[in-house]
Chains A and B, each alone.
Chain A
Amino acid sequence: MNIKATLSNPKARAGLKAAFLALALLLAFLAGREFHELRHYEETVVSAPGLTERKMLSDYLASLEGTWMDSPVFVYDSGVPGGSVFVMGNVHPYEPATSLAAYIIMENIKVSKGKVFVLPQGNRSASTTGMLANAYPKFFSVPTSFGAKKYRLGDRGTNPLDQWPDPFTYVNYPSRQNLAYQDIRNMNRTYPGRPDGTLTERAAYAVMELIRREKIDLAIDMHEASLMYPVVGTYVAHDRSFDLAMMAAMTLTAGSFDMKCESSPKGLRGLSHREWGDYSDTLAVLMETPEPFIDRVVGPMTEQLFTEGKDEFLDVAARHGLTYVPYSYETGAPLWYRCGRHLSGALEAVAQMGAFFPEKEVLVEWPGYEELKEHDCGYFLHDPGKADPKLVFKQ
């Protein structure tokens, strides 16, 4: 058979083109099925019985209603006058130890004085898409006594299906500081937001409104960071909350794990630790844990790397002094360690607020670093099948 003759035959050539198209459509179907699964998968959380109210971000900015940025806020009010605390996870959903920490808080919280607001999915839209070109797993699982619980592994920025196109340069409002173009979808660069801005700016504005309207005394934004990034294993605190964060860092370092404390730079705009404090009366604190999964030098991006945090390349980097926190392959940075740091980090910040400002005291309990070290994360998650249906939420 002469290939040249076949290719010059119009009918045979059209058939070949149709075959290429069919192959492309097959690839589109196979890939699309996976993207669709991540986009529409719902995580389950069983709230502790102390839940008093479930609000939505759209209660603070109506235009978010019906969008993928609308996200539930869970309120735990002791009924005893005291301060108020806001805890937020998953602003960057490729750092999902933060949403898992928020879920562990929600499933185990006991408030005996003051109020606690928990927003486990800060940027819900970003949790419905994966990082481009990084060959990430779509989900990670946490083993529990009732089986594995599956959670989404998302992106850093809002899903382009919900906010697109990106500009050539992103100009933060109202500072007018120029930032990287993709940061227009990065919620932690869009504070204080605006009610008539992009979807991400509107979600940021809704969070600001929550802090202002609910008169939040202490606002905690949970993140994870690569180990080769200087701001890792640290509190980043606004000017007014710097003393309490420094005390919390010293207390944690003396008793549990190394925790640094840094002051929020005044010249870097759009971040929670800066704008929450500047545009409201809250004491703003951001926390970072070490997450090897998002370091640039690591090997295959597997679920195991995410949950255990063990990587030999990072181990070599650490031995050459290239990481900003101690790291070894033997211990890694497992999920319980990262969640535990956030849980104890938040508890210590709440305790220090009560010490510095007795009128803002909040008395609250949830599992901390030592409990997670002993039992791991799954121990503190409850079986949705056996729980009161009124306390089971999907998102």
Chain B
Amino acid sequence: MVFLEQAIHVLYFVFAGIIGWFLLRNLFKRASRPGIVYDIVYAYCVIPFLLRVLFIK
């Protein structure tokens, strides 16, 4: 059970990394929502995922 808890915990950090990567990729390369406002949104939304993956917040 403790191992399972820890495995899920680590998995969620991996998910955070994957989502952060997708946001970064979509900032530079995306087919829909081409507006400049979305550039700002994608760049800003990287912050929480980055801080989580770096084990800061």
Q: Which residues of A contact B (CB under 8 A)?
A: 7, 14, 16-17, 20-21, 23-25, 27-28, 31-32, 35-36, 39, 63, 129, 161, 163-165, 196-199, 202
- In the complex, what distance in Å separates the CA atom of A161 from the CA atom of B9? 9
Instruction: Choose from B9, B39, B56 the contact partner of A164 (Cβ within 8 Å).
Output: B9
Chain B residues in 8 Å Cβ range of A199 = 5
Q: Are B2 and A63 in contact (CB under 8 A)?
A: yes
Top 4 closest pairs, chain A to chain B, by CB: A196-B1, A20-B43, A24-B43, A35-B57
CB under 8 Å from chain A, chain B span 3-46: 5, 8-9, 12, 24, 27-28, 36, 39-40, 43-44, 46
In the complex where A20-B43, A35-B56 touch, is A196 in contact with B28 (Cβ < 8 A)? Answer: no
A36's nearest neighbour on chain B, judged by CB, is B56
Chain B residues in 8 Å Cβ range of A27 = 44, 47
In the complex where A31-B51, A31-B57, A32-B51 touch, is A165 in contact with B39 (Cβ < 8 A)? Answer: no
Chain B residues in 8 Å Cβ range of A28 = 46-47, 50-51
8 interchain pairs, CB-CB under 8 A: A17-B43, A20-B40, A24-B44, A24-B47, A27-B44, A28-B50, A39-B56, A161-B52
Q: Are A16 and B39 in contact (CB under 8 A)?
A: yes
**SS class of chain A's interface: helix, strand, loop or mixed?**
helix
**Given A27-B44, A161-B57, 17 other A-B residues pairs in contact with their CB atoms under 8 A:** A20-B39, A20-B40, A20-B43, A21-B43, A21-B46, A24-B46, A27-B47, A28-B47, A31-B47, A32-B57, A35-B51, A36-B56, A63-B2, A161-B56, A196-B2, A198-B5, A199-B5
Q: How many A-B residue pairs have CB under 8 A?
A: 60
A21's nearest neighbour on chain B, judged by CB, is B43
- In the complex, what distance in Å separates the CA atom of A21 from the CA atom of B44? 7
Chain A residues in 8 Å Cβ range of B28 = 14, 17
Q: Are B56 and A32 in contact (CB under 8 A)?
A: yes
Chain A residues in 8 Å Cβ range of B27 = 17, 20-21
Chain A residues in 8 Å Cβ range of B2 = 63, 196, 202
- In the complex, what distance in Å separates the CA atom of A129 from the CA atom of B57? 8
Chain B residues in 8 Å Cβ range of A7 = 36
- In the complex, what distance in Å separates the CA atom of A279 from the CA atom of B12? 34
Q: Are B5 and A165 in contact (CB under 8 A)?
A: no
Chain A residues in 8 Å Cβ range of B36 = 7, 16
**How distant is B43 from chain A, measured CB to nearest CB, in Å?**
4
Q: Are B51 and A163 in contact (CB under 8 A)?
A: no
Chain A residues in 8 Å Cβ range of B1 = 196-197
**How distant is B41 from chain A, measured CB to nearest CB, in Å?**
9
B45's nearest neighbour on chain A, judged by CB, is A24
Chain A residues in 8 Å Cβ range of B9 = 163-164
A162's nearest neighbour on chain B, judged by CB, is B9
**How distant is A238 from chain B, measured CB to nearest CB, in Å?**
29
A159's nearest neighbour on chain B, judged by CB, is B57
